[in-house]
Amino acid sequence: MAQSTLPPVHEAWLPREHSLYRPRHGVRQLTAIICAVVFFAMPLISLTFGMRPTELENHRLASFPNPGDGWSFFTNFNGWSNDHLPFRREAIDAVNGISRGLFGEPPNLGRSPQQSGPVAVVPGPQGDKRQINPGVTIPLAIEGKNGWMYYGDDVVSRCNQARDLKSTMDQIRRLREGVEASGRKFVMVVAPDKTTIVPENLPNSYAGKDCMQKVNSELWPLLTAEKGVVDLRGELHARGQQLGKPVYPPLDGHWWDEGGLVLARRLAEAIHPTITRKWVTQPVQEYSIPADTPPLIGLSGTNKGFMYSLKPDGERDQTRNLSPDFNTPVQVGHATGQGTVTESVGMLSDSFTIRALRYLAASFGDLTVLHYGKTPDDNGRAAGEMLAQNEVVAVEVVERTIASGNNQLLQPAVVDGIVRVLKDNPIRK
């Protein structure tokens, strides 16, 4: 029997009744290819004509993927292309206008707050950390009274706890005891949530209100009972009364510079109680920056605040502007003279420290700051090695991540890793 062979023609050219006939779909394929090329090339085309993308949705623009990363180049390309599409801001504004104008509700953009900021990361039912009960999901941002907005994660952190408060306090205590056993001083400054300092502008009713209030009634008594924990609430309220407005902007989850000043002052006083007696501060420059909360639900907004001078000896301003990026250890403190802390300090922080950097630089002579967000990557080893080079261990942590029980720094393996390094490198007195 003669061996059958495939016909020497393209399958699309065979008679339609032939069993191997397959249509080419040439026009459809060509159209799809053209659309794909236009979509992915549009960012490059827009750059050619001088159009520059802007940062939206509380995260940095994705960088162009590295062709040397293999298949990751293709999987990461979509994120870069999305971030760099022209008219993206206008498109989001249009979607928001249509959703609110026609349906009376904000659009669901399918974004979560980025981990660069101090947000709670907690598991929830069916893997949705924002779902607190069947059919009840907390929005990314809560629209309150008088044009105010709040992080939805302030509520999620209380209603979907990964660990109970007692277990979290145990980790704080273990970290403090390990630091002190190595011969070092321990200070933890808790940055209050905006919902704690300015609750009056929350909606009268919102999903999760009951569990929010319940956890709050338990959280602060436990925190203030812990040795080494600094409570800023009273001073933040007092500063707001002096200003005639809260120290948190209406459209941002973080405090203004006034909160950063309070942080720097209380941290210095925790090391030397009377060191700030001659401190003099005054506003020197107004600034305007994009707000971080409105983009979470398709809006935009601006914060206007003031930067301050800080003269620790009452005469010489030692503030300086620093990069907000401290994902690797950054030497912040170079201050000298009366009113400045001379001990070497290693500080683990989150983004609430950003507004305090210029004031920490003016009041500490030897201060190194590191964001604790990546401490789980090596179970705290790198953080421990940085802290081991210092006499004082300082921690700044935002309230909501303590409430959630899933703060990266307070994971048992991370605490173990930091304490182990400090134990191996004690301070000899």
The pLDDT score that the predictor gives to residue 291 is 94
Whether the pLDDT of residue 41 is over 70: the answer is: no
What confidence score (pLDDT) does residue 68 get? 63
> What is the separation of C-alpha 292 from the centre of its chain, rounded to a whole number of angstroms?
10
pLDDT in tens, 220-233: 999 999 999 999 99
Answer left, alpha or beta for residue 9, where phi above 0 means left and psi between -120 and 50 means alpha: beta
**Mean of pLDDT values over 198-211:** 94
Reading the block at residue 285, the tokens are 């420059």
The answer to whether 398 touches 255, Cβ cutoff 8 Å, is no
What's the CA gap between 320 and 102, in Å, rounded? 48
Determine the 3-state secondary structure of 155 from DSSP.
Answer: helix
Q: Which of 241, 269, 246, 265 is nearest to 256 (CA)?
A: 246
Q: Please state the rounded mean pLDDT for residues 386-403.
A: 97
Mean predicted lDDT score pLDDT of the chain: 84
In-domain check, residue 126? no
4: CB partners within 8 A, 6+ apart: none
Return the minimum-mean-pLDDT range out of 54-68, 199-213, 371-385, 400-414.
54-68
pLDDT of residue 87: 53
> What are the helix (H) ranges across 303-398?
357-363, 381-387
Q: What is the pTM of this model?
A: 0.74
Classify residue 121: in a domain, yes or no: no
Q: Is 263 exposed, middle or buried (0-12, 13-18, 19+ CB in 10 A)?
A: buried
Report how many domains make up the chain. Answer: 1
Q: What pLDDT, on a 0 to 100 scale, did the predictor assign at position 16?
A: 72
- Residue 171 binned pLDDT confidence (cut-offs 50, 70, 90): very high
- On whether residue 191 sits in a domain, the answer given is yes
Q: Would you say residue 260 has pLDDT above 60?
A: yes
Query: Is residue 392 one of the residues assigned to a domain?
Result: yes
Q: What is the mean pLDDT of residues 394-410?
A: 96
pLDDT for res 114:
35
Distance of CA 119 to the CA centre of its chain: 6
In a domain, 91, yes or no: no
Do the domain assignments include residue 336? Answer: yes
In a domain, 138, yes or no: no
Establish if 108 belongs to a structural domain: no
User: Is residue 4 over pLDDT 70?
Assistant: no
- 204, pLDDT greater than 80: yes
pLDDT tens by residue, 238-247: 999 999 999 9
Domain hosting residue 385, numbered range: 149-424
